[in-house]
Structure 1
Amino acid sequence: MLTAINPKLPMRDKSITRDYYVNKLGFTDTGSADYDGYLIIQKDNVQIHFFGFPALDPKENYGQVYIRSNDIEQLYQSMADNKVDIHPAGHLQVKPWGQKEFSLLDPDNNLLTFGQSV
């Protein structure tokens, strides 16, 4: 039986990725060992894994994750309070498919979309 899904996204520099997710987005580094090319971060019930890809060209990265929230307004406000750059086309809005969403790009151009059913 399936119990969870943990996406794996590329990263060019582990320290930059860790800093962004921990200090800007409020995740915790939960890796049980410090492997040079791997990072595991978690916030609430969401865990994301990252693998080292130093040659990644962010302009050619199409990594994407959709993360559900039960308090999208508060989450959006916390991002604004932390001065997190919101995707230019991804400000908080209700979408035709019945989700209230916003999006951002991490330092490697991975798209994170946060959504809540309306």
Structure 2
Amino acid sequence: MGETTVPILPCRTLQPVLDFYTPLGFEVTFLQRRPNPYAVVERGGIQLHFFGMKDYEPTASYSTCCIRTDDVDALHTAFRSGLRAAYGRIPVRGLPRIGALKDTSYGARQFLMTDPGGNCLRIAQPIDDDPRHRPAPRGTFPRALHHAALLADSKEDLPGAARIIDRALGIQDEEPTPTELLRLLVLRADLAQRSGDTETSRRAQAEAETAAGRLTAGEREALRDDLGRLATLRDGM
């Protein structure tokens, strides 16, 4: 059996989408302008097809696909570098954008990337054989991080995720550990920047930088994804 599944994704016009993918190392292997706009881009084993829809609204798109890889860290690094070269910065909000690399609660290490057509690519490397969501962890702050991350990345509910983080940071009779505090502040800065709230993002980034200065070398290594996200947020301001 030699079946292959190929996603066919919508966009308003082809050229902005093609201009997005080519700096990321994709090659345009097919392009048709008429009678129906259609294009194909390929990079290694990744093949994406696009069709044009004149009245399509990218900001209202729900189209998505999952790309499974055995080296998600390498793809994240390559795509970030390509985006920086193309846009002069790494876009983290609006269209297009690239999200944080992180280990999820459902057995995958992944990041999300959304192109100018509003198509969200979920680029994932399995790290567990069980793809089901894990139960929320015990503990006030790990639980807050768990639920906020799910709201932000699975449901795109940025205000809801921000409320969870703000409640956790406002608790008076319990303190997060240094690593929990750093993760809370980075996620809060990320949510604010994705929502266009630059002032809140700057404030949370500054507090996160202070918290990072108190971490041990071992803690910094354990939080390399969060610290990398903090650096990206700082560069994207």
**TM-score, normalised relative to structure 1:** 0.87
CA distance in 2, matches of 1:55, 1:113: 25
Percent of aligned pairs with the same amino acid: 28
SS in 2 for 1:114: strand
Structure number, greater radius of gyration: 2
Matches within 5 A, 1:14-53: 14-23=14-23, 25-31=24-30, 34-36=31-33, 37-53=37-53
**Greater share of helix:** 2
Q: Which moved more, 1:88-97 or 1:36-45?
A: 88-97
**Greater share of strand:** 1
Indicate the structure whose relative CO is greater, using CA pairs within 8 Å and at least 6 residues apart.
1
Partner of residue 102 from structure 1, selected from 111, 123, 131: 111
Q: Deviations over 1:69-95 (max 9, x none)?
A: 111111111122222535689311101
Gaps of 5+ in 2: 85-89, 128-237
Q: CA RMSD in A?
A: 1.9
CA distance in 2, matches of 1:20, 1:42: 13
SS in 2 for 1:20: helix
The verdict on how the C-alpha distance between 1:17 and 1:89 changes in structure 2, with shifts beyond 3 A counting, is closer
CA distance in 2, matches of 1:73, 1:91: 11
The verdict on how the C-alpha distance between 1:63 and 1:44 changes in structure 2, with shifts beyond 3 A counting, is same
Moved over 4 A (4+): 86-89
**TM-score, normalised relative to structure 2:** 0.45
Report the Cα offset of residue 47 of structure 1: 0.9
Aligned position for 1:85: 91
Q: How many residues end up aligned between the 2 structures? A: 115
Report the Cα offset of residue 117 of structure 1: 1.3
